[in-house]
Homo-oligomer: A and B are copies of this chain.
Amino acid sequence: MDDEATLEVCPRLTLAFDILGKRWSALILDVLSHRPARFSEIKNAVPRLSERVLSARLTELVDAGLVDRIQDGSGAHHYELTTTGERLRPALDAIRTWANDLHTARAS
């Protein structure tokens, strides 16, 4: 270890993982990156996610400005990514690519 420079964690990354690091949040965002969806659709897409936790996570994601809750003409609601939420897509794609490598490394 030649480089003795002081290490610091990136404050932006800390902010990002305050959101993404909560269990299920990134997976909910991934589901909504495919298309807008109703509560029940998101719940069905994510195995083992309870209604109570999904409700809490969606509220956090709305508050964080990543998801909008939209009332449609019939009075029902659905959820969709905001522009900031959409911008997470390349990062999720990069993580998915890495996870493929990880899976391959473990299988070999």
Given known pairs A21-B23, A65-B105, A87-B101, the reply for A9 and B95 (CB within 8 Å) is no
Q: Which residues of chain A from 4 to 35 have any CB-CB distance to chain B below 8 Å in the complex? A: 5-10, 12-17, 20-23, 25-27, 30-31, 34-35
Among B45, B94, B101, the residue within 8 A (CB) of A84 is B101
| Chain B positions within 8 Å of A100 at CB level | 12
Oligomeric state, in number of copies?
Answer: 2
Residue ID in chain B nearest A30 by CB atoms: B13
CB within 8 Å for A15 and B103 given contacts A7-B35, A47-B9: yes
B-side contacts of A3, CB under 8 Å: 35
With CB as the reference atom, state the residue of chain B lying closest to A84. Answer: B105
Of the candidates B30, B38, B99, which one forms a contact with A9 in the assembled complex, judged by CB atoms under 8 Å apart?
B30
15 additional contacts (CB under 8 A) given A84-B102, A91-B95, A94-B95: A1-B35, A5-B34, A7-B31, A7-B42, A8-B45, A9-B27, A9-B30, A9-B31, A10-B96, A12-B103, A21-B22, A65-B106, A84-B105, A90-B97, A93-B94
